Chain A
Amino acid sequence: KNEVEQSPQNLTAQEGEFITINCSYSVGISALHWLQQHPGGGIVSLFMLSSGKKKHGRLIATINIQEKHSSLHITASHPRDSAVYICAVRMGGGADGLTFGKGTHLIIQP
């Protein structure tokens, strides 16, 4: 079973700060997902990546397959970015092959 560790568990920052959330996993994967969950809300897929880097607006996700590590960055953070960010890894095979991290709770203060 793949172990997925996210850090930090909780993060509070000021509006405009550059945010980094980290995800490490223990076993080789085929892909990694970053998900966003707003308080009381549903879960939205932000990125799926298997190598390199992806960018969408102010969000950037990177992955280093050799080091079994991924980061999610938020530039020019805004209070609406406040949410729980969840990392999930796909090993392939099985029901859906996804193992989820426990999430990083991000609060951006104005």
Chain B
Amino acid sequence: IAGITQAPTSQILAAGRRMTLRCTQDMRHNAMYWYRQDLGLGLRLIHYSNTAGTTGKGEVPDGYSVSRANTDDFPLTLASAVPSQTSVYFCASKPEHGTGELFFGEGSRLTVL
């Protein structure tokens, strides 16, 4: 693993199903984020975690939950998917010290039917 890895890269899901998007980083970054990217709206923050054991809500948290059991992993769960959650999801991380640069995963394209 190098950088941030997201899985799956693409998924089609029936409405009402539960889905977990996985995010793992090997850079020992404290802060991690989940964004969704929708056409015409840009990137919007769903949830964040400043350090292992803590999480917080972003701009569009409804319908999503996260956990941060350790530094490396930050999964995003849709408890009961709805079509409006069709989007491309990006996980990102940021080191505690440095320039504030964000490191992004490759994205997970989710389609809810």
Contact = CB atoms under 8 A, between A and B. Distances in A.
A interacts with B: yes
Interface of A: 31, 33, 35, 41-45, 48, 86, 88, 90, 95-96, 98, 100-103
B104 A95 contact: no
Contact of A86 (B43, B45, B106, B107): B43
Interface residues of B, number: 24
A58 to B, nearest CB: 20
17 contacts: A33-B100, A33-B101, A35-B102, A43-B92, A43-B107, A44-B104, A45-B102, A45-B103, A48-B100, A48-B101, A86-B43, A95-B50, A96-B45, A98-B45, A98-B102, A102-B40, A102-B42
A19 to B, nearest CB: 20
Contacts of B95: none
Given A42-B90, A95-B48, A100 B42 contact: yes
Q: Please report whether the interface of chain B is mostly helix, strand, loop or mixed according to DSSP.
A: strand
A42 B43 contact: no
Contacts of B45: 95-96, 98
Nearest to B6: A42
Given A98-B45, A102-B40, A102-B42, A42 B104 contact: yes
